[in-house]
Structure 1
Amino acid sequence: MELDFKSEVFSRLGEIVKTGGLYEKRTGNNETYKNFIEQFPAEEIRNLTLDQYCMGKNSIQGNFCWWLERGLEKTLGRYSPGNARGHVLYKDKSGGIFTHRTLTHLGPEGALQYTMKLHSVIANADARSDYSWLDNADEIFSKANVEPLHIMGAGRKLRILAVYHPDDVIPISSSNHLGIFLEALGYPKNDIPKENQPFARMRLLTQYYEQAKQQFNAELTPFGFMEALYSEELGINPGNDAVKPRKDNDDDDVEEIVAVNRMPLNQILYGPPGTGKTYSTTNLAVKIADPEWYQEQSDEQDGIPSHSALKQRYDELVADNRIVFTTFHQSFSYEDFIEGIRASTEKDDNNIRYKVESGVFKRICTEADRSIKSGGAIGLATAPTIWKISIGRRHEVEMRQRYFNNGEARIGWNSTGDLTVDYEDRTDDEQAYWDQQKSKNRSTIRNFSERMKVGDVLLCLKDAETVQAIGIVTSDYWFDDAANRDDEVEYAHVRNVNWILRDINFHILPINGNRRLVQQTVYELDRISWDDLKVELKKQDYSLPTDDSIEPATLIDWPPTDRPHDTEKKPNYVFIIDEINRGNISRIFGELITLLEPGKRKGAEDARKVVLPYSKETFSVPENVYVIGTMNTADKSLAQLDLALRRRFSFKEMPPEPQLLEGVKVHGVDIGEMLSVINQRIEVLLDRDHLIGHSYFFPLLKMTSAKEREAGLTRIFEKQIIPLLQEYFFDDWERISWVLNDPAKPKTQRFILDGGERSLDKLFHTSIREQISERRFYVNGEALSQPDAYRGILVSTRNPIEAGATHEEATVDAES
């Protein structure tokens, strides 16, 4: 199609580039660039060695990947591969060669040869002809004469072409940015090539460059055009929140992605029904919770990871309590969200007890607060629970020391038998012994055998205010059948434990709310997190080991400048609230609405905490908890949303995207175009909050035969679209018929018909009939299966079919 160069943005760009200077900078004349080309000419890059290619630990100065990413930044603009895997091979911190998993079977040398053959094809492509064939991976594999094992991401391919053709290719290495610039310059959004076609996008943007050069500045260069596009003055810079600030230390691996560094801690996706808000939370939640996995998948698939892979990772993160999903409704309360008093009974006890239970949001905040930056070296879980344990009676020092030396934690009640055996399968004596136990004892035993997990932390009691040992659980529960041996009674319920600190006198009151430890043998210390414990240990001059090879009884001096994990981030947690606008916000959040603010989060400069009304515990919201809400604007508009919530959340609109239905035709009707026209009518008759989302029609994408799609469209209209319009217009059938363009169609093709079994003339006397208008409407079931009923939705009222025109004559372009 012929491009239109009359947009306001293109005109402003012209005024910018007329100033010359930076915009006339020619990369090929730059000495730095010349040095690169002399070292790595396009025709010879197939023959690079691993040392010449690889960045990373102890890499040689001026290697190929360093030049692409850093050395050419001032002459060709910024390029980041996302993470180290974007380079396919690199030198890791151990000094070895990391190779992309799809090429590991080739070995490092073979993987390099494979990779450079692909690089060579792109570098030697003719940049002055149509190079959009580079979007086809099979074409590149064929020209490189290699098997289709792995293709670089779009950014890498764009960078290689621009590096070796700086006078012809605009140095932009993001397909997404290319699309944004095309749209800003006036190119029709629906006609922009897909994101996995970066070279087709580059070809189009190059036409704008060539026009700007001809119209505004004959000395304009591709580099200068790029600088103008990203300039603050033009104001269309897409930004780059997905990349970390660059580290200058070449000994480090290539920077990993931080897809969430500047993402809002609280955000709401809002839009009318069917726009994929809830569906999108899967992608967004995984991107936040596990950005490294997300980027690795994106690199491998040259774009957004497949939904099946995302959903699998999402389910894994849900199982790990890193993502929590809930839905607000009218009955949802503070007690469900934060904490409340609940009646409960133990498994084997019918007595009712009332206790304070945490709600869904408090639970994820507790889990996130307990999470640690890194603890794998000493066996910590991602979010370890802290337990108080008493091992033996006070005078049983020798027994306790034996358990410490053996790397064990044991408790008594041997006569219960093995608790991994179902109650019904235990002996009569074991069942009777269990039944005799008080509820507190049963709770203690269950804490040790069921609720305690590998990676949790044990604080072994010395007295009510002092801890004598700290250990990390390293095994599941097991029962020692030989506990009664040599006339010496041993405790039989066992957990293996790595006792990392022993023979200490650690005062617990400062981190336990000034509360003394109680006599119960095993219980959770829910006020204490691992980070709290580390800080207080340091205050009391105790240091933790950093490696599991350290002897348990040894106290290690931990130099402040040599702490390997201090700069790492805690893992992110995501709390998803579906239909957030359906809940009573004041009732659900209560006093905690203030704590959601980034500046009021735990660890922030203005951090705040509150005392909860039921448990009397202090509570704050950790900085690694991200809240994502979804909001259906048909239920409640943005303007009606609780003001306190609006001030604390960022909002992202998710409008209908008919272009996603591109190419889907039923009865010869373009479904995307039909949806667009229907929505335009709704917006005129009602508002933009009540549009119809594209996802209602997504089932048609999976249907292969015309007959199947026709039946599918009938079902969608009958079961979803018309009922939704009834809801929107409060059964104002006349307006519903206007939305479907029924007045422009013959009666038999109208979806909505008026009247009933008897006419008004037959139902009422003439004197009454004149005072009554027809208010009876019904859905015309026959029209739902008629092709012209759907074609007529796009028919112009200026050329109605019922006026005698054929369908072809009456149908007009959607733009008319």
Structure 2
Amino acid sequence: MNEKAIGVPDSQPLNQILYGPPGTGKTYQTVNAALEILEPSLLQQHGHDRKLLKAHFDKLVSDGRIRFVTFHQSFSYEDFVEGMRAETNETNGQIRYAVVDGVFKSLCSDAQDGGKVTSAFELAVENLQEKLEASGGRLKLKTVRGKEFEVSYDGGKTFRVFPLSTENDDPYYVASMDNVRKLFAGESKRGMYNPSYVDGMLRYLQAECGLPAMIEAEKPHMHAQPYVLIIDEINRGNISRIFGELITLIEPSKRAGAAEELKVTLPYSKDSFSVPGNVYLIGTMNTADRSLAGLDLALRRRFTFREMPPRPELLAGITIEGAEGLDLAKMLQVMNQRITVLLDREHTLGHAYFMPLQAEPTLVRLATIFRQDILPLLQEYFFEDWEHIRWVLNDQCKNPAEAFIVADSALKLPSLFPKVHDKLRQSPQWTLNDAAFANPAAYLGILATVATGYVTDEAGD
């Protein structure tokens, strides 16, 4: 087996998914999940200082130790692993295609060498830019065969090559600085665009800009720092299309350095690739979009799942101005119990929607949450079955003035469909009662079993 990334508790799985209904803080919790892997002692000592934890998280992001990506239907293997990108010559309009690393392959490359290649290379490029500035924007270099050429570089992904003796009409060529980095990291020149100039640039960086001849190799993952990729909404992407052949390589037993290590040849670059043992994947999954039962089986077998249920207890102690008798925690708990009976527990309401009330415990804020978050979500859950939504809100037990959803008295079928209205199958037509959102009794009534003048079906049993 490969050795554990240094400083990572043994309990942390290499691949995990935080799952739960909307509003349970899954994306919010990825900060803690990442720090459990990267800085566990910090999390243990300052677990309640969100500002401090977020600052350390952001620093790790800027250092390249954490990457973040959101899956969606258009996200592809080319975005995640590697793909071809078209680049146009600014002078003659000719198009060339270069292999570009995706977010996952890029993270794995840094994890393999602990960022050493990146750090050394970036420092050398900074020295190159200083030399270019001092020399008026161009430097004279040589290929391995002694052919002279000049280069200019503005800090992007490519540098310009100006051959000093050529029969070509083009005044310059374009070469990839990323290919220079790959060549330094030990990759083959095969398939690279303008490889002689790429090689010449590498030799100059090593001879004049402080780039070492090579990075000293270490035993794989001996003291490797962990790296984290956070995949938000992992179930929204086409998993087989995004991961491709790498879905097998992310298994702990198939990682680089493991007893059953596997490598694949990538389709575009033809590089030999394996997933380092110090790369951790953290996904989030909204169960309202897709249940665990409907999740890609290949993904389910390779990830550990951590449920993120609603936590009404986090709302305990919040007193709403103007509705002092309202128990927010109990209200959320009861609404979720009703949803569980009518639908399932995967479509409940998360506590995060109500967390802004900690800083602003006003009736206006509560009304905004219900109007902009809770009601639209219930409409989505119940496919606009207004009667069931009324049951969740206990509107059937309220005085009509306190109900969020009421019969639409403005719809008069005889006037809408003269002479034929009696042929229509008449069902209740519902509308939102705007006045109820500002009425404390509307929220208090969610918990009531009997309202003045209105009796529940159970009351007569």
State the TM-score bracket (shorter-chain normalisation). 0.7 to 0.9
Rounded to whole Å, the distance in 1 between the matches of 2:396 and 2:49 is 44
1:412 aligns with 2:141: yes
2:173 is matched with 439
Whether 1:739 and 2:422 are equivalent positions in the alignment is no
Identity over aligned residues, as a percent? 46
Match of 1:723 in 2: 376
How far residue 358 of structure 1 moved from its aligned partner, in angstroms, is 1.1
Instruction: Check 1:641–1:296 CA distance in 2 against 1; reply closer, same or farther (3 A cut).
Output: closer
Q: Give the AA of the match of 1:288.
A: I
SS of equivalent residue, structure 1 residue 626: strand
CA distance in 1, matches of 2:108, 2:151: 37
SS in 1 for 2:74: coil
Determine if contact 1:323/1:575 at 8 Å carries over to the other structure.
yes
1:236 alignment counterpart: none
Measure, in 1, the Cα distance between the counterparts of 2:155 and 2:259. 51
Letter in 2 for 1:352: I
Q: How does 1:215-234 map to 2 (within 5 A)?
A: none
- In 1, the alpha carbon distance for the partners of 2:191 and 2:431 equals 73
Contact 1:289-1:323 at 8 Å conserved across structures: no
2:249 and 2:97 mapped to 1: Cα distance?
A: 28
Q: Secondary structure at the match of 1:340?
A: strand
CA shift for structure 1 position 367: 1.2
Cα distance in 2 for partners of 1:348, 1:287 equals 51
Correspondence for 1:363 among 100, 106, 121: 106
Superposition pairs of residues 492-531 of structure 1, within 5 angstroms: 519=196, 520-523=199-202
- 2:32 is aligned, of 283, 288, 296, to 283
CA contact 1:755–1:774 (8 Å) conserved in 2 = no
Displacement, 1:285? 1.2
How far apart in 2 are the matches of 1:800 and 1:770? 36
1:677 aligned to 305, 325, 334, which one?
334
Segments of structure 2 that go 5 or more residues without pairing to the other structure are 126-138, 143-147, 157-168, 204-212, 457-461
> Contact between 1:337 and 1:360, CA under 8 Å: does it hold in 2?
yes
Describe the superposition over 1:546-587 as per-residue Cα deviations: whole angstroms up to 9, x where unpaired.
xxxxxxxxxxxxxxxxxxx99952111100110001111111
Structure 2 counterparts to residues 564-643 of structure 1, below 5 A: 569-643=223-297
Partner of 2:351: 694
Larger CA Rg, structure 1 vs 2:
1
**2:85 is equivalent to residue 342 of structure 1:** yes
Q: Is the 8 A contact 2:184 2:202 kept in 1?
A: no
Find the aligned partners of 1:611 and 1:579 in 2 and give their Cα distance: 28
1:190-239, CA deviations, whole angstroms, 9 ceiling, x for partnerless residues?
xxxxxxxxxxxxxxxxxxxxxxxxxxxxxxxxxxxxxxxxxxxxxxxxxx
Distance 1:334 1:457 in 2: 23
Contact 2:15 2:282 in 1 (8 A): yes
Q: Is the 8 A contact 2:24 2:308 kept in 1?
A: yes
Q: How many aligned residue pairs are there?
A: 408
Matched, 1:534 2:217: yes
Once residues 612 and 314 of structure 1 are traced to their aligned partners in structure 2, the CA distance between those partners, rounded to angstroms, is 32
Deviation at 1:284, TM superposition (A): 1.3
Q: 1:583 to 1:306 in 2, by over 3 A?
A: same
Instruction: Report the CA distance shift for 1:421/1:457 in structure 2 as closer, same or farther (over 3 A).
Output: closer
Q: CA deviation at 1:457?
A: 10
TM-score (norm 2): 0.78
Deviation of residue 643 (structure 1)?
0.4
Q: After TM superposition, give the deviation of residue 773 of structure 1 in Å.
A: 2.6
Q: Note the C-alpha offset of 1:345.
A: 3.6
Instruction: Return the structure number with greater relative CO, CA threshold 8 A, min gap 6.
Output: 2
CA distance in structure 2 between the partners assigned to 1:587 and 1:644 by the alignment: 12
Q: CA deviation at 1:412?
A: 3.1
> How much has 1:321 moved relative to structure 2?
1.4
For 1:412 and 1:767, the matched residues in 2 are separated by 88
1:668-689 Cα deviation digits (max 9, x unpaired)? 2011111111000000000011
Structure 1 residues 37-59: Cα deviation after superposition (integer angstroms, max 9, x where no partner): xxxxxxxxxxxxxxxxxxxxxxx
Matching residue of 2:408: 755
Alignment CA distance shift 1:750-1:322 (3 Å): same
In structure 2, distance between residues paired with 1:305 and 1:383: 33
Structure 1 distance, partners of 2:123, 2:89, is 20
Q: Which residue of 1 aligns with 2:130?
A: none
Q: What letter corresponds to residue 201 of structure 2 in structure 1?
A: V
The verdict on how the C-alpha distance between 1:287 and 1:669 changes in structure 2, with shifts beyond 3 A counting, is same
Hey, what does 2:453 align to over in structure 1?
Answer: 802
CA distance in 2: counterparts of 1:607 and 1:795, whole angstroms: 60
Residue 366 of structure 2: aligned partner: 713
AA aligned opposite 1:313: H
Q: Which residues in structure 2 correspond to 1:474-493 (within 5 Å)?
A: none
Q: Distance in 1 between matches of 2:313 and 2:120?
A: 47
Question: What displacement does 1:757 show?
Answer: 1.2
Question: Shift of residue 741 of structure 1?
Answer: 0.2
- State the Cα distance separating 1:313 from its structure 2 match: 1.5
Residues 272 and 690 of structure 1 are in contact (CA less than 8 Å); yes or no, is this contact kept in structure 2?
yes
Cα distance 1:531–1:611, how it changes in 2: closer, same or farther (>3 A)? farther
Following superposition of structure 1 onto structure 2, how do residues 233-312 of structure 1 map, counting pairs within 5 Å?
Answer: 258-291=7-40, 295-296=41-42, 298-299=44-45, 301=46, 304-312=47-55
TM-score, structure 1 normalization: 0.45
For structure 1, the 5+ residue unaligned runs are 1-244, 246-256, 373-379, 390-409, 423-434, 460-510, 525-529, 536-564, 806-816
Q: Which residue of 2 aligns with 1:779?
A: 432
| Paired amino acid for 1:661 | L
Work out the CA distance in 1 between the residues paired with 2:388 and 2:102.
Answer: 45
**Is residue 2:74 matched to residue 1:354?**
no
Tell me the secondary structure at the aligned position of residue 225 of structure 2.
coil
Q: Distance in 2 between matches of 1:589 and 1:297?
A: 31
CA shift in 2, pair 1:282/1:792, >3 Å: same
Alignment of 1:4-403 (within 5 A): 258-291=7-40, 295-296=41-42, 298-299=44-45, 301=46, 304-345=47-88, 350-371=93-114
Looking at structure 2, the residues matched to 384 and 626 of structure 1 have their Cα atoms a distance apart, in angstroms, of 24
SS at match of 1:332: coil
| Deviation sequence 1:234-253 (CA, Å, 0-9, x none) | xxxxxxxxxxx9xxxxxxxx
The question of whether the paired residues in 2 share the 8 Å contact of 1:367 and 1:383 is answered with no
* Partner in structure 2 of residue 790 of structure 1: 443
Change beyond 3 A, Cα 1:567–1:353: closer
Query: In the aligned structure 2, how far is the partner of 1:575 from the partner of 1:349?
Result: 40
**Take 1:324 and 1:338, find their aligned partners in 2: how far apart are those partners?**
14
**How far apart, CA to CA, are the structure 2 residues paired with 1:566 and 1:365?**
13
Deviation, structure 1 residue 415: 10
Report the CA distance shift for 1:802/1:523 in structure 2 as closer, same or farther (over 3 A).
farther
Task: Tell me which amino acid in the other structure corresponds to 1:729.
Answer: F
The 8 Å contact of residues 221 and 277 in structure 2, kept in 1 or not, is answered as no
